[in-house]
Amino acid sequence: MSETATGRGWAAQDVRRELHSELLEINMGPQHPATHGVLRLLVRTDGEIVHGVTAHIGYLHRCAEKIAEGCDWRQWMVYTDRFDYLAPINMNFGYAVAVERMLGVQVPERAEHIRVICAELQRIASHLIAIGTFGLDMGAWTPLLYCFREREEILNILERLSGGRMLYNYFDIGGLRFDAYDGFERDVLAFVNIMEQKIPEYDTLLSYNKIFIERTADVGVIDLATCLAYGCTGPVLRGAGVPFDCRKDDPYSIYDRFEFDIPYGEGEQGTVGDCWDRYMVRMREMYESCRIIRQAVDALPGGPVKAEDLKKLVKVPQGSLYTRTESSKGEIGFHIFADGGSKPFRTKVRSPSFSNLHVIEKVGPGMMLSDLVATVGSLDIVLGEIDR
């Protein structure tokens, strides 16, 4: 730039200094439509390119683990509901299994079957939300409404079963709070029949849509090494091509009796471990859940739903145990320390979303802003479970 051109006698290096550039720091959240709750992502961007992401969590911290130390063993069940409020039954299941293992109590057959049916229904409900909101992150509104339509049926069943539509508190240590209503099996089978027909509908509307594939394939690739380093589990790990599922690899309850496959990412549309793979793992898991539900309903026996030899006030023998179960988001683990009293001495919850979320700090830099939204969406995080 010559002196006459600027008219102010600036030399070229002055102009360059004048036009200094820096990264734009921008808060995505806590009030932002794409952060799936009260998550705050501090994003450093250069135009549309993301240079760094930091996840700030804790907006939903409710001291659930500390509260456990003041509750007796049965009472804390109600707090586990509030971890993953999109899949409370799966949280209940994890805690119930953990305490029952420490007690060495045998859960009645009927209760086990109803538990599995509920947990799989809940997994479908949770995946429906994951898929619907992921579509919404891509700008596709309609799949969300379709997903909610099917989820409504699940909520109706669970409402008739437990009285709640969001937080059920239906599982109890040693069984269930009360037996299933008459016609429960019929309702469940009717739903499964509908659900299996609806999945191809989602596939045509969203999964194999050209724009959707363009937006998700090869985007936010999380490979196996990253998964291991960050402790990712659930659909994130399976999306990276590892068919690991606690239901199969570390069976709890009666999952070892059912026949089902573990879907995993194969890089069908792009790289293994991209957003599309994680999305598709959830889609296929809904099929598998339907298969499990069918088998469980067929085998549903009669009998009690509570372990009879358990007192009202449970006392867990001294010791510590880590128990993991497969929630819809991944491996939910309860590490419980008991001192022989009627209250837990210490509980530590290993929440899958917590580990899954922080991967974005690794995979985030270098992608575009829209891809960051897609990646966060594909991780399917629930802040209630991250912050507890």
Applying CB under 8 A, the residues found at the interface with another protein are: 24, 26, 32-34, 47-48, 135-142, 145-146, 149, 205-206, 209, 211-212, 214-215, 368-371, 373
Task: Please state the closest distance from residue 33 (CB atom) to another protein, in A.
Answer: 5
Work out the number of other CB atoms within 10 angstroms of the CB of residue 16: 12
The string of DSSP letters for 146-159 reads HHHHHHHHHHHHHH
Closer to another protein by Cβ: residue 26 or 190: 26
Task: Please state the closest distance from residue 321 (CB atom) to another protein, in A.
Answer: 41
Closer to another protein by Cβ: residue 288 or 371: 371
CA distance 145 to 153: 13
Q: Are 374 and 215 in contact (CB under 8 A)?
A: yes
Closer to another protein by Cβ: residue 107 or 136: 136
* DSSP category for residue 107: P
Task: Please state the closest distance from residue 183 (CB atom) to another protein, in A.
Answer: 26
Task: Please state the closest distance from residue 96 (CB atom) to another protein, in A.
Answer: 36
Closer to another protein by Cβ: residue 93 or 212: 212
Task: Please state the closest distance from residue 153 (CB atom) to another protein, in A.
Answer: 13
Task: Please state the closest distance from residue 373 (CB atom) to another protein, in A.
Answer: 5
Task: Please state the closest distance from residue 92 (CB atom) to another protein, in A.
Answer: 31
Closer to another protein by Cβ: residue 48 or 249: 48
- Please classify residue 54 by burial: count the beta carbons closer than 10 Å to its beta carbon, then call 0-12 exposed, 13-18 middle and 19+ buried: middle
Q: Are 282 and 133 in contact (CB under 8 A)?
A: no
Task: Please state the closest distance from residue 112 (CB atom) to another protein, in A.
Answer: 36
Q: Which of 283, 238, 279, 240 is nearest to 262 (CA)?
A: 238
Q: Are 110 and 302 in contact (CB under 8 A)?
A: yes
Closer to another protein by Cβ: residue 70 or 200: 200
Q: Are 281 and 235 in contact (CB under 8 A)?
A: yes
Kindly report whether the peptide bond that precedes residue 108 is cis, defined as omega within 30 degrees of 0.
no
Q: Which residues pair with 317 in a beta bridge?
A: none
Closer to another protein by Cβ: residue 47 or 304: 47
Q: Which of 167, 79, 178, 75 is nearest to 122 (CA)?
A: 167
Q: Which residues pair with 350 in a beta bridge?
A: 333
- 3-class DSSP assignment, residue 324: strand
Closer to another protein by Cβ: residue 11 or 24: 24
